[in-house]
Amino acid sequence: METPTRTALVPIADGSEEIEAVCLIDVLRRAGAVVTVASVESELAVTCSRGVRITADELIGACTGQRFDLIALPGGMPGAERLRDCAPLIALLRTQRAARRLYGAICAAPAVTLAPHGLLGTRATAHPNFMDRLAPAQALGQRVVVDDGIVTSRGPGTALEFALTLVELLFGADKRHAVAAPLVID
């Protein structure tokens, strides 16, 4: 049986956490998702939080009006703030939520990018340094939290688990296991 095509948007910014960004892009592509990497900056190339440069496929403005099965945000600072302040990205996320399509964020992004715009559910997690920015009843110390189509995770050390959870939600458990096996996760 052929795997259905799924589309994913991974927005990046100056200061994004490179482990999380690359892990999301790589794992989603291994699963067969058509991944668009979009810069929220004025140019395609961004400099991540540890100096790694990543070149996006397109600028975020080119994504406006497109439909994605998933929008997945890496964390990192000040990248999460730059994502938070990007009006076209926030509009895409609001549309994603209204359509009840999958989106997620890792590290600082749940607290810094999603929370200020009311884009979290009733349960979430974030990097330990940002948990105090989540509502106390909302904040869970779990590695990955799935809450009604919104997936959050803690940081670089949980990036593979986060990405594989997104794969499972997009494609099913069998695809998650097929992608995880050659990564020597289990």
Q: What is the pLDDT of residues 15-66, one digit of tens each?
A: 999 999 999 999 999 999 999 999 999 999 999 999 999 999 999 999 999 9
pTM metric for this prediction: 0.96
Q: pLDDT-based confidence at 155, cuts 50/70/90?
A: very high
Phi, psi of 76 (to 5 degrees): 90, 150
Report the alpha-carbon distance of residue 136 to residue 129 in Å, rounded: 14
Structural domain boundaries in the chain = 7-181
Q: What pLDDT does 75 receive?
A: 98
Report the alpha-carbon distance of residue 72 to residue 85 in Å, rounded: 16
> Considering 48, 63, 86, 107, which one is annotated as catalytic?
107
> How big is the CA angle at 59 (ends 127 and 110), to the nearest 5 degrees?
15
Report the alpha-carbon distance of residue 44 to residue 57 in Å, rounded: 7
Please say if 107 is a catalytic residue: yes
| Residue closest to 15 by CA, chosen among 71, 79, 70 | 79
Per-residue pLDDT averaged across 122-139, rounded? 94
CATH architecture under which domain 7-181 falls: 3-Layer(aba) Sandwich (3.40)
Q: Is the pLDDT of residue 67 over 70?
A: yes
